[in-house]
Amino acid sequence: MIKHLNITVKGKVQGVFYRKSTKAVADQLGVRGMILNEPNGDVYIEAEADQSTLEMFIEWCEEGPQDAEVSTVESHEGELKNYRNFEVVKRRS
């Protein structure tokens, strides 16, 4: 069963290729959704996949790319939006 997670990643996660790296991992795992930088320095992700795939994805989010320093990852279930792929969004519309 496909689930939808809203994920907020806090720490040193901007300016370290976090979004680009996360997209590569999402594409590899088959996660659909989107990622964007928040004005406050956080990264916001919406991810859709089955439970075990989302668990692997969250594990990766807790590490991030080499130069990232993730302090916390918060996630909660949301309403399924049926994303077609995973994309990096420049700013909220």
Instruction: Give the percent of the chain with pLDDT over 90.
Output: 96
At residue 51, the 3 state secondary structure works out as: helix
Residues 23-62: pLDDT tens digits? 999 999 999 999 999 999 999 999 999 999 999 999 999 9
Q: What average pLDDT does the structure give for the chain? A: 97
pLDDT attached to residue 91: 72
Nearest to 91 by CA among 35, 50, 51, 42: 35
- The average pLDDT across 10-23 equals 97
Known catalytic residues are: 19, 37
- 76: which DSSP letter? E
Question: Is the pTM above the cut of 0.85?
Answer: yes
